[in-house]
Chain A
């Protein structure tokens, strides 16, 4: 079974702190994604990586950055956390071959910024 893990299920940080969210997948997937999930807004893509050290902005990249130094690991960084970044963050991964678009999701990290 594909496994996608995230470093924390719950996280509480203060405004202005630098926050790291880690995601690891064990299926040698090329693609990795970070989403945030908010009630009534569904899932919105923050960043996408299709290879090591490669990244692409999603729909809402402002206030976030990412790092992918190894194929299996994709980190989301909040440079200076703000209260409007309080949300559920979901990581996902998928094969890079055309026609295989299914994304496998991690359990999510519920981040609260106070």
Chain B
């Protein structure tokens, strides 16, 4: 069984600053996928970024990037130039290759301070 841990229940950041959300995971598989999902208040959850474990290069999507440390089983999300629209719950998730079920962390609530 895999586990995903988000140790920061809440985070806050000043608008335009950079914030990093932490995630660690544990899986016995060597091939897997990692995700960050965003759930804005009263809105649908959407995918922010994904990382294939076999890729050494860290994924980036505009202002969002990850720091993937495979040996440490760490997968943090960095948000640069934070905007008010980034305020949301962020969930880290993991899926083993060949198994399409995701295991989610408990989430981090991010507040943006104007």
Contact = CB atoms under 8 A, between A and B. Distances in A.
Contact of B104 (A31, A40, A43, A106): A43
A42 B106 contact: yes
A96 B101 contact: no
A58 interface: yes
Interface residues of B, number: 22
Nearest to B1: A59
Contact of B50 (A4, A35, A41, A102): A102
A41 to B, nearest CB: 6
Interface stretch (B11-19, B60-68, B73-81, B91-99): B91-99
Contacts of A43: 91, 102, 104
A106 B44 contact: yes
Interface of B: 6, 9, 33, 35, 37, 43-47, 50, 91, 95, 97-98, 100-102, 104-107
11 contacts: A40-B9, A42-B107, A44-B104, A45-B101, A45-B102, A48-B101, A96-B100, A103-B47, A105-B37, A105-B45, A107-B43
